Structure 1
């Protein structure tokens, strides 16, 4: 398709996964559920077709909490095919419950030139002041912009542009629910255009798995916890992430069990705080970060436990040797 000036129009593929942005109240349902199609979402945004030629596909229709890693692997395969088909950008709409994780997993596997932008909504389509249309409009504008090429997977909500590798959901209901605590946003929408302040360094993608991702779980340290949830994990999971206190500390009673687990499988030490790095050599007491690393745990750097879990699972699926797993966390945090 060509514009009025004769130049080819930008083409953007919108892939919908469901979520609050697609939710309305059905007659018999007690609350809202994902019922809107991609065509419904696009049709509710004035001026969208003036930005790009839009193609819509209903990829899934699920709440964000019900998406799986397998869904996202399939999504990345579709994104890669979209690049081969000649689309200039891809927008993914989904629920915000898992958006920080799905976008990050996609970023681990996709490193093309085509902009990929995830977005969603904090208010459902039937709410006064629903934010879905504005977020979708901003996402399409960014996906259609040349500045977003080679920038990795992006997340846009509330006119802020975030790198998938840094973004977190920081509030349950606020329209300003997403932030990047360690870096701040990459940029913002202003006057209908994307303004980028910085771009993330390129990181080589991991190979897409042929089978389901290995099971990796998170155990969170809390005051007075006995560590009973650590028992027997060596036969239940392929890897473990510890969401530790502060800069990487756990109760002293956890130490021997974590050391035994680290001998059986990769155990990654992350912080439950959500911002800032795990340290490596500042504290020296039993259960401190230096003690745990000496017992064989792997430092997560600045990755939060949720992203650390996905990275470890993806590395295990790729058959990454133990020594290279530690380096991968260093390089990707």
Structure 2
């Protein structure tokens, strides 16, 4: 059986000079690079590719331009490929939003077959591009029985990461992707995928018929009085807010009533801006603490970072009639 390969552009598919600048390493002497390589070009550059691939060139765009709708459409295309007999799926895309794409896919992917996302940090015009090695490793993971029932995975640098945990933690390094709270699920060793741990999965969500909701993200900073939030939702179409708080989920005391007022009008989710660790629930009790903010109606994001919390909240708000209580229950399951 084959593995279905869907290409979405990004650094892994960049070559040649152009005026468009995108992706790590794009600003090179002699001009920038643009997405020009097809799936056939990508696979031809992979030495030792021993997994049959059914190539689907979809859209060559920087990952910063990807949308929820495009990604959900891609999931449907990948589902059709699996129903037609593909043993797994590989998607190549830019790394800028790869962690968010992977988490969105993981939330809705209903199949046991692996859905593997990969990309590159060094484009093919540079010495030592990592795209071919990443594509080979991703294809082998997608074809591996060990990778079944793990949902969406991110494979780069011979590491296998769970979509829920992975983050891009460096702007240019080929080892940019890490899972701060868990470490990788496994590794590709001498070409063989080794899955070392199998975290439980949540039941896949079904996107509602509505358009993805507009959800704001506010990162709390020193001496933040929340002035930028006071008119949020007043005719701007914003239906939810994710707050990236300090540490374990704290904000300045002056900001707490502002957030509480917003939580009376829309779902407000409290995450941590730190990049690792969980928002706490009942350790601190001062004004602006996690306990105080939850009492004011904020929803605890737990271990979800602010970017993934925003993905989940947007997805949940596509369901017509979803209440804040419904959303809080889903966050409790995913946090």
Report deviation, 1:178: 0.4
CA distance in 2, matches of 1:176, 1:271: 23
CA distance in 1, matches of 2:141, 2:164: 17
Aligned: 1:324 with 2:326: yes
2:254 is matched with 253
CA distance in 1, matches of 2:35, 2:209: 30
Q: Contact 1:182–1:276 (CA<8 Å) still a contact in 2? A: yes
Report deviation, 1:324: 2.4
* TM-score, structure 2 normalization: 0.94
Q: Contact 2:15–2:125 (CA<8 Å) still a contact in 1? A: yes
**What do the CA deviations read for 1:10-57 (whole angstroms, capped 9, x no partner)?**
301110000000111325663111111111101111221x2x221111
**What do the CA deviations read for 1:145-178 (whole angstroms, capped 9, x no partner)?**
1111111100000000000011000000111100
* TM-score, structure 1 normalization: 0.94
**Considering only aligned residues, what root-mean-square deviation do their CA atoms show, in Å?**
1.2
CA distance in 2, matches of 1:119, 1:27: 24
Report deviation, 1:206: 1.0
Is the partner of 2:183 in helix, strand or coil? Answer: coil
CA distance in 2, matches of 1:60, 1:261: 38
Report deviation, 1:234: 2.2
Aligned: 1:19 with 2:24: no
Is the partner of 1:206 in helix, strand or coil? Answer: coil
1:6 is matched with none
2:284 is matched with 283
CA distance in 2, matches of 1:27, 1:224: 43
Q: Contact 1:280–1:299 (CA<8 Å) still a contact in 2? A: yes
Per mean C-alpha deviation after superposition, the further-off stretch among 138-147 and 228-237 is: 228-237
Q: Which aligned segments of 4 or more residues in structure 1 are displaced greater than 3 angstroms?
A: 27-30
Per mean C-alpha deviation after superposition, the further-off stretch among 224-233 and 112-121 is: 224-233
Q: Contact 1:111–1:150 (CA<8 Å) still a contact in 2? A: no
Q: Contact 2:116–2:152 (CA<8 Å) still a contact in 1? A: yes
CA distance in 2, matches of 1:229, 1:126: 43
Q: Contact 1:227–1:254 (CA<8 Å) still a contact in 2? A: yes
**What do the CA deviations read for 1:124-149 (whole angstroms, capped 9, x no partner)?**
01110000000000000000111111
**What do the CA deviations read for 1:259-314 (whole angstroms, capped 9, x no partner)?**
11000010000000011110111111111111110000000000000000010111
2:220 is matched with 221
CA, structure 1 residues 266+27, in 2 after alignment: closer, same or farther (shift >3 Å)?
Answer: closer
Report deviation, 1:208: 2.6
CA distance in 2, matches of 1:323, 1:212: 21
Is the partner of 1:182 in helix, strand or coil? Answer: coil
1:114 is matched with 113
Equivalences for 1:170-185 in 2 at 5 Å? 170-185=169-184
Unmatched 5+ stretches in structure 2: 21-30
Equivalences for 1:1-333 in 2 at 5 Å? 10-26=1-17, 30-48=31-49, 50=50, 52-235=51-234, 236=236, 237-319=238-320, 320-333=322-335
Q: Contact 2:10–2:62 (CA<8 Å) still a contact in 1? A: yes
Per mean C-alpha deviation after superposition, the further-off stretch among 310-319 and 289-298 is: 310-319
CA distance in 2, matches of 1:203, 1:154: 15
Is the partner of 1:324 in helix, strand or coil? Answer: helix
CA, structure 1 residues 91+309, in 2 after alignment: closer, same or farther (shift >3 Å)?
Answer: same
